[in-house]
Amino acid sequence: MRFRFAHTAIDTAAARREVLDLGAGAYAAFEGWVRNHNEGQEVVRLDYEAFQDLAEKEGDRIVAEAMRRFPITHALCIHRVGSLGLGDMAIWAGVSSAHRGEAFDACRFIVDEVKHRLPIWKKEHYRNGDSGWVNCERCAAAPQHPTARAPATVPAHSHPHSHDHGEDHEHHEPAELSVHK
Amino acid sequence: MTTAAATASPAPPPRAGAPAPLRGLILAGGSSSRMHRDKAALRYQGKSQLDRAVELAARHVADVFVSVRSSQTADPVRAQRPLIVDSIAGEGPIVGIRSALAAFPHTAWLVLACDLPFLSDATLAFLLRERDGTAMATAYRSAHNDLPEPLCAIWEPAAAPAIDAYLAGGGHCPRKFLMRHPARLLAPLDRRALDNVNTPEDYAQALTELSGVPHGIKMQLKVQYYAVMREQAGRSEEWLETAAATPADLYGELVARYGFSLPREQLKVAVNSEFSEWSRKLSGGDAVVFIPPVAGG
């Protein structure tokens, strides 16, 4: 019970049961969803791809780190791969603990680390038929997918979008945070 | 130019114009005097050198014989192989070659010394491909002195009468024989392939080199590609032969081949499914993955 990939829709009810514990008074979970827009582009679909051997090992290490850093009871993270449509769930993380504070903190820690460290990539497909690998193509050199709104005089590296070169490239909103007690 | 038709033999000659059929002859009749032990019995990677040579030859020609002196026929290293026993007087490998040509007068012989631990399939395949059936022999030139190498060579039936005349004139050196008779000589494919092992020091050195991945020698690596790099390489994985010593060197080679757009500074690298330093020393069989900027979640 640490980190794994899912090739079909994540079963959140089953995942939640895996972290249930009678000694835990709190449970925090995070869902990341496919959003219909990114950096001014209308997104219609995302393809997720992972180097699974290494990602599973590194994902297990992240959850083990969370267990050491925070006084929590159980933690689990599941990431989707494959082609996802709007509103589909790309990532789920759940943490149980005696009290709510560490459940929130550990859940956020796991999701942040997974986004930064695991060899997982997503390709955005846009309404206009274009597509691009997030963090790889538009920031590597000259933009390969200039948008129609890009001013003609923009210098080569100030693209009309404003993400931060692979730091925390938020794609999803916190969707469900619930606490018992 | 001598041809196969010139051999005076009571048996019917092969079809006109066709090269003589080829058999293998491993020379294992030497005295191994400098080694102080039988060279055919030296072991590399769990096998005797004689077995390695027979198996190598058998991948290229159908029948492989071992050339021995009459005193060696009961030797356990040799006895279980088909043997050609020296049938003429004299000393040295030319006696073994001539005895094989006498035993099968219409056969050409892929002749190999049994003290060539670095000999490769590629070297034999090239020798067979370049064979000139109208010459007396096809052989490599030495990588060290350019002289013919008679003991990794194809000897044609047409050489038999010329060898008899050479022996009758007091000659005994197969290298000098090839220098004085029509032979097709090939540039060496691999400088090490024909290095022989004569002394205990040579043997120790060869064992060391054959046991590990030699420095600077090409090795086979598996490379897997993901996401933008998979698209730019046009494949998700491949085995490739490379002399790259580190992942950094390998990425340089692959940028030249595939034109990857990402500079190395933006990548991480994994070897055998663990994150790795760019300066790690690669070994044959390693699986390498270059990791472009990630975007999970």
Q: Look at residues B97, B116, B66, B109 and name the one whose alpha carbon lies nearest to residue B177.
A: B97
For residues A1 and B177, which has the higher predicted lDDT (pLDDT)? B177
Cβ distance A54 to B227 less than 8 Å, yes or no, reads: no
- B146 with B75, same domain: the answer is yes
Provide the CATH number for the domain around residue B154. Answer: 3.90.550.10
> Residue A18's domain spans which residues?
3-133
Identify the CATH number of the domain in which residue B257 sits.
3.10.20.30
Among A123, A109, A33, smallest CA distance to A77 is for: A109
My answer on whether B153 and B252 are in the same domain is no
Q: pLDDT > 90: what percent of chain B? A: 58
Is A140 a member of any domain?
no
Q: Rounded CA gap, B103 and B156, in Å?
A: 13
Q: Does B272 touch chain A (CB under 8 A)?
A: no
Is the minimum CB–CB distance between A67 and chain B shorter than 8 Å? Answer: no
CA-wise closest residue to A3 among A49, A69, A48, A53? A53
Q: Which domain holds residue B61?
A: 4-9+19-211
Q: Give yes or no for residue B3 having a pLDDT over 80.
A: no
Q: Please report the pLDDT score of residue B16 as a whole number.
A: 59
Q: Quick check: is B297 in a domain?
A: no
Given a contact cutoff of 8 angstroms between Cβ atoms, the answer to whether B174 and B150 are in contact is yes
In a domain, A76, yes or no: yes
Distance (Å, whole) CA B114 – CA B75: 15
**Beta carbons of B273 and A57 less than 8 Å apart:** yes
Q: Which of B241, B238, B244 lies closest to B224 in space, CA to CA?
A: B238
Domain presence at residue B186: yes
The mean-pLDDT minimum among A16-30, B54-68, B170-184, B238-252 falls in B238-252
From the list A51, A133, A169, the residue facing B289 with the nearest CB is A51
Same domain? B121 vs B239: no
Query: Does B36 map to a domain?
Result: yes
The confidence score (pLDDT) of residue A66 equals 98
Higher pLDDT, B187 or A172: B187
Chain A residues lying within 8 Å of B290, measured CB to CB? none
B207 and B229 within one domain: no
State the average pLDDT for chain B.
88
Please tell me the total count of domains within chain B: 2
| Nearest beta carbon to residue A118 from set B262, B289, B294 | B294
Q: Which burial class, exposed, middle or buried, applies to B245 when counting CB atoms under 10 A from its CB (0-12, 13-18, 19+)?
A: middle
Q: Is residue A117 part of a domain?
A: yes
CATH code where residue A50 lies = 3.90.1170.40
Query: Which among A53, A91, A166 is the nearest to B297, CB-wise?
Result: A91
Q: Given this model, what pLDDT does residue A138 score? A: 55
Q: What is the pTM of this model?
A: 0.51
In a domain, B287, yes or no: yes
| Nearest-neighbour CA in chain A from B46: distance (Å) | 34
Between the alpha carbon of residue A166 and those of residues A134, A137, A153, B292, the distances in Å are: 8, 11, 25, 11
Q: pLDDT tens for residues A32-74?
A: 999 999 988 999 999 999 999 999 999 999 999 999 999 999 9
- Whether B296 is covered by a domain: the verdict is no
pLDDT in tens, B22-59: 999 999 988 788 887 888 888 887 788 999 999 999 99
Report whether pLDDT(B13) > 80. Answer: no
Range in B43-47, B148-152, B178-182 the model is least confident about:
B43-47
Task: Please give the Cα distance from A67 to A45 (Å, whole number).
Answer: 34
| Domain assignment present for A18 | yes
| Pair (B129, B172) in one structural domain | yes
Q: Does the beta carbon of A107 lie under 8 angstroms from any beta carbon of chain B?
A: no
Asked whether the predicted pLDDT for residue B200 surpasses 90, the reply is no
Q: B237 — contact with chain A (CB < 8 Å)?
A: no
- Is 60 exceeded by the pLDDT of residue A150? no
Number of Cβ pairs closer than 8 Å across A and B?
Answer: 89
Q: Which two tokens stand for residue B246?
A: 């580190």
Cβ A2 vs Cβ A63: under 8 Å: yes
Per-residue pLDDT of A78-136, as tens digits, reads 999 999 999 999 999 999 999 999 999 999 999 999 999 999 999 999 999 999 999 88
Q: What is the pLDDT of residue B190?
A: 77
Is residue B296 over pLDDT 70? yes
**Residue B142 and residue B235 in one domain:** no
Complex confidence, ipTM: 0.77
Interface touch A121/B297, C-beta < 8 Å: no
Q: Which residue in A38, A54, A56, A131 has the most chain B C-beta atoms within 10 A of its own C-beta, making it the best mutation to test that interface?
A: A54
B273/A54 Cβ within 8 A? yes
Same domain, B252 and B109: no
Same domain, B148 and B236: no
| Domain-terminating residue out of B166, B183, B211 | B211
Query: Is the per-residue pLDDT at A181 higher than 90?
Result: no
Q: Is A176 on the interface with B (CB under 8 A)?
A: no
Taking CB atoms and an 8 Å cutoff, what residues of chain A touch B231? 133
Burial track A2-32 (b if 16+ CB lie within 10 A, e otherwise): bbbbbeeebeeeebbeebeeeebbbbbbbbb
The verdict on B227 and B204 lying in the same domain is no
* Same structural domain, B158 and B180: yes
For residues B237 and B279, membership in a common domain is answered with yes
In a domain, A176, yes or no: no
Q: In this predicted structure, what is the pLDDT of residue A157? A: 36
Helices in chain A by DSSP H: which ranges?
12-19, 52-69, 100-117
A107 CB-contact burial (10 Å; exposed 0-12 / middle 13-18 / buried 19+)? buried
Going by C-alpha positions, the residue among B86, B90, B74, B76 that lies closest to residue B25 is: B86
SS (H, E, C) B197-219: CCCHHHHHHHHHHHHCCCCCCCE
The number of folded domains in chain A is 1
What pLDDT, in 10s, does the model give residues B76-103? Answer: 889 889 999 999 988 889 999 999 999 9
**Chain A 132-171, CB below 8 Å of chain B: which residues?**
133-137, 139-141, 166, 169, 171
In a domain, B52, yes or no: yes
Q: Are residues B99 and B144 in the same domain?
A: yes
Give me the residues paired with residue B27 across strands.
Answer: B67, B113
Residues of B with CB below 8 A from A33's CB?
Answer: none
